[in-house]
Structure 1
Amino acid sequence: MPYADVVIVGAGAAGLSLAYRLCAPGAEVELSVLLVDAPPGPLRPPPRTWCFWEPPGGEFDAAVSASWRRLRVRAADGSATVAVASPLRYKMLRSDAFTGLVDRRLDSAGGFGRVELTVRAVRDAVGGGGEVVGEDARGRRTVVTGRYVFDSRPPGRLPAARTTLLQHFTGWFVHTRRPVFEPDTADLMDFRTPQPRHGLSFAYVLPLDARSALVEYTEFSRTPLEPAAYTEALEHHLREVLGASPYRVSATEHGVIPMTDGRFRPRAGRSVFRVGTAGGATRPSTGYTFSAVQRQTRSLAAALRAGEPPRTPSPYRARSLAMDAVMLRALDTGRVDGAAFFTGLFRSVPPARLLRFLDGSAPLREELLVGLRTPVAPMLRTVAELPFRARRFYPAQPAPASSLPHLPDEE
């Protein structure tokens, strides 16, 4: 029966980030770490992209595909708001490059191991610690045990909530015959898209150079679309809005990220913990996950490497989650126009302050200043209503996120 001090289930952003930090040199307490990954097949997430902002010189910069200091939001009428994010940069990190960077550390770390299992259960063990029960490639039952187990898989069911929306998207990596894109400017939200009855939609364009970019169609709504609807929306935006035809699609991404005021519980037992989206790392109002995963895993690894029990605070402050709950409900009810709401924020709030707010790292004063830029009357009505709303389970199970944690993921 394989054993390690720390067992990590899942090799997505959260699982790899935790392993990366636990295996860094210089720990006060040396730990054995075992990473349990899904075998090749449908349970293993496909290549995906994560985006986040931070100053230049970050720990993953060697793997970053591109970055931008100019960010743009376009209103439905095409008018543009351009912000310079200095001293921050918006960074794109592809999962294959991130995995390669992490693997270089893990491969040279003493006490690190891997095993491939189809996981059936993660739970506390009878005699103490935690255990992972699954089957190997031959279908044989295998049990892995550890002092602590961290489960980074996407949640199987969303928690009961007053409001649940889904951020669902399809993205294409496109190459055009002529220069179309502005390499120094990322389009975070382009609202020149048909708006759904509930929520909002926008296009998202991250240029790699003048002739290639990641172009996405994204919606915040109650249910995902049929595949053909994403294709139609992307083709329309590329051809009619951007004038990018002819173009070639070299890769695609699809994901569904929960946006909910349900309470994700980081602790799943005496010795079992959740990290990533299932541990509350996805920001309810934006879908951003990657930066919170880094905060979460940094805290956990620091405690374990010092010989202390894992710390399990939420990656977000309670007041940030309360503000998110209000925004989600106001958006779902139609009390605020989503396109006008986000366009107004980018027009009226200094860029660095707004980015810290969206990332969940803004201090109280900045959160209050951003809050004053929102539509006050519908927000106050929603604040008064929320305490009387019952929490209900989402009626359908969303697909696992191939998580592009972008603006309104991870695993």
Structure 2
Amino acid sequence: MDHHYDIAIIGMGCAGSHVALELLRRKSNLKIVIIDDFKANSLEKTWSFWEKGKGRWDHLISHSWNKGSFIMPDNFINLDLENYVYKTIESPDFIAFAQAQLQQTSNYFLIEEKVERVTGDEIKTIHCESTHLTANLVLDSRIDPAFYSDKKATTLLQHFKGWVINTEKSVFNPKDFVMMDYRLRDAGTTCFTYVLPYSTTEALVEFTYFSKDVVSDDTYDKYLKEYISNFLKIKNYSISKTEQGIIPMTTYRFEQHHQKKLFKIGTAGGWVKPSTGYSFKMSEKKATQLVDNILANRELHHHMISKKFRFYDDIMLDVLHSDNSRGPQVFHTLYKKNSIQNIFSFLDEETSFGQDISIMLPMTSKPFLSAFFKKLF
């Protein structure tokens, strides 16, 4: 044993940073180590989320919006967020903030290493490339390889490519973002364009799929070029940044990989909202609950999963998986029949059963009923 810690956190991405910062906020005197190889290309992401009014991370927000839109070929829906704000944080800024906070505290340690394996029972040994250490508890953000070979779970991939584009002339409204634009489609799939205007001359334009398979880089590029040219009506622009990613949207039960003294977090722990792919605020909530459990010496899985909302997510994924082309219709109904405030509250898993019914009832159709009874029985 070279070093021993109370808690070892593997991975300082979204989930690892949230857990570490929450432990720090509680002024815990536990000895904590965070291990990550800090490869820049794996950390640079745009994390967007909604929340009511002022938030804990507002000093790190790069952009925010109070208005948005949902667009279909024959319908334009204005989204007045009212008491909600849609916000964006650049992941390097959030992680750098977390690192800076932790480095000021004597009981937190950062190790720049790649973890190869974790062994042990009561005391866990973390084997890295050039060192090893031990911990009473390991919080592990690495996805178990069994997920990738599983054939039973219903899994879609949210995969996307985005360009931050710059124009010479003012073309964007920096107060109004586009949540989903379904006017440009890859036939037979659920796909849409997402636009975050940073200024009148700069915006992130992203083409996103909720589908079973990823597509080639050329396919993303084709649709991005077409959207910018035909829908934004921009002929001359430069690309200052490219962003790309794949997020699993799945019914897979990641919690099956929890072990004694090892707890999965982040995507590896099922912290990504299965029906939307949003993770930043969900990770903040899960991290808060997990730290509650750790400091109260409760079972770590206590209140970490809502069976009710998991059931809803399973139904939505089943519908989109069985007929991927239905996505635009499904989301259009959701946004057309409900206020954006109720949608956000529902997706944040904060609604009552009565509110759930009022939101889901307009979406009731044969595919939804079929998925409902399949999941029920």
* TM-score, length basis structure 1: 0.86
Q: Specify which structure has the bigger relative contact order, considering alpha-carbon pairs within 8 angstroms and separated by 6 or more residues.
A: 1
Specify the alignment match of 1:407 in structure 2.
none
Describe the shift of the 1:195–1:370 C-alpha distance in structure 2 as closer, same or farther (beyond 3 A).
farther
Taking the aligned partners of 1:64 and 1:164, their CA distance within structure 2 comes to 31
Could you tell me which of 121, 124, 141 is aligned with 1:130? 124
Specify the alignment match of 2:47 in structure 1.
50
Describe the shift of the 1:311–1:116 C-alpha distance in structure 2 as closer, same or farther (beyond 3 A).
same
Aligned 8 A contact 1:335 1:378 in 2: no
Match status 1:14 vs 2:15: yes
Taking the aligned partners of 1:243 and 1:155, their CA distance within structure 2 comes to 44
Specify the alignment match of 1:225 in structure 2.
215
Specify the alignment match of 1:173 in structure 2.
164
User: How far 1:25 moved relative to its partner?
Assistant: 5.4
RMSD: 2.0
Residue range with higher mean Cα deviation, 330-339 or 249-258: 330-339
Specify the alignment match of 2:181 in structure 1.
190
* 1:82-101 matched pairs, under 5 angstroms: 82-101=78-97
Taking the aligned partners of 2:17 and 2:332, their CA distance within structure 1 comes to 35
Describe the shift of the 1:25–1:260 C-alpha distance in structure 2 as closer, same or farther (beyond 3 A).
closer
Specify the alignment match of 2:239 in structure 1.
249
Taking the aligned partners of 2:317 and 2:326, their CA distance within structure 1 comes to 12
User: How far 1:303 moved relative to its partner?
Assistant: 3.2
Taking the aligned partners of 1:169 and 1:56, their CA distance within structure 2 comes to 29
User: How far 1:350 moved relative to its partner?
Assistant: 1.4
User: How far 1:347 moved relative to its partner?
Assistant: 1.4
Taking the aligned partners of 1:113 and 1:266, their CA distance within structure 2 comes to 29
One-letter code aligned to 2:24 = C
Aligned 8 A contact 1:281 1:314 in 2: no
Secondary structure in structure 1 of the residue aligned to 2:62: strand
Aligned 8 A contact 1:283 1:360 in 2: no
User: How far 1:157 moved relative to its partner?
Assistant: 4.0
Secondary structure in structure 2 of the residue aligned to 1:372: helix
Specify the alignment match of 1:330 in structure 2.
319
Taking the aligned partners of 2:144 and 2:257, their CA distance within structure 1 comes to 13
Q: Alpha-carbon deviations, 1:118-152, whole Å to 9, x = none?
A: 211124x24x222211203xxxxx22211110011
Aligned 8 A contact 1:191 1:201 in 2: yes
Specify the alignment match of 1:288 in structure 2.
278
One-letter code aligned to 2:49 = F
Match status 1:370 vs 2:371: no
User: How far 1:387 moved relative to its partner?
Assistant: 6.0
Specify the alignment match of 1:361 in structure 2.
350
Aligned 8 A contact 2:158 2:209 in 1: yes
User: How far 1:309 moved relative to its partner?
Assistant: 4.3
* 1:80-119 matched pairs, under 5 angstroms: 80-119=76-115
* Unpaired runs of at least 5, structure 1: 137-141, 389-411
Q: Alpha-carbon deviations, 1:307-365, whole Å to 9, x = none?
A: x2452246441121111211212122228721121112111101111112123332322
- Number of residue pairs aligned between Structure 1 and Structure 2: 374
Aligned 8 A contact 2:161 2:244 in 1: yes
Specify the alignment match of 2:34 in structure 1.
35
Taking the aligned partners of 2:177 and 2:82, their CA distance within structure 1 comes to 14
Aligned 8 A contact 2:187 2:325 in 1: no
User: How far 1:383 moved relative to its partner?
Assistant: 2.1
Aligned 8 A contact 1:326 1:386 in 2: yes
Match status 1:76 vs 2:77: no
Residue range with higher mean Cα deviation, 335-344 or 80-89: 335-344
Specify the alignment match of 1:409 in structure 2.
none
One-letter code aligned to 1:135 = E
Aligned 8 A contact 1:292 1:315 in 2: no
Residue range with higher mean Cα deviation, 199-208 or 159-168: 159-168
Taking the aligned partners of 1:365 and 1:295, their CA distance within structure 2 comes to 23
Specify the alignment match of 2:228 in structure 1.
238
* TM-score, length basis structure 2: 0.93
* Unpaired runs of at least 5, structure 2: none
Taking the aligned partners of 1:387 and 1:362, their CA distance within structure 2 comes to 21
One-letter code aligned to 1:118 = K
User: Identical aligned pairs, as a percentage?
Assistant: 28
Aligned 8 A contact 2:47 2:90 in 1: yes
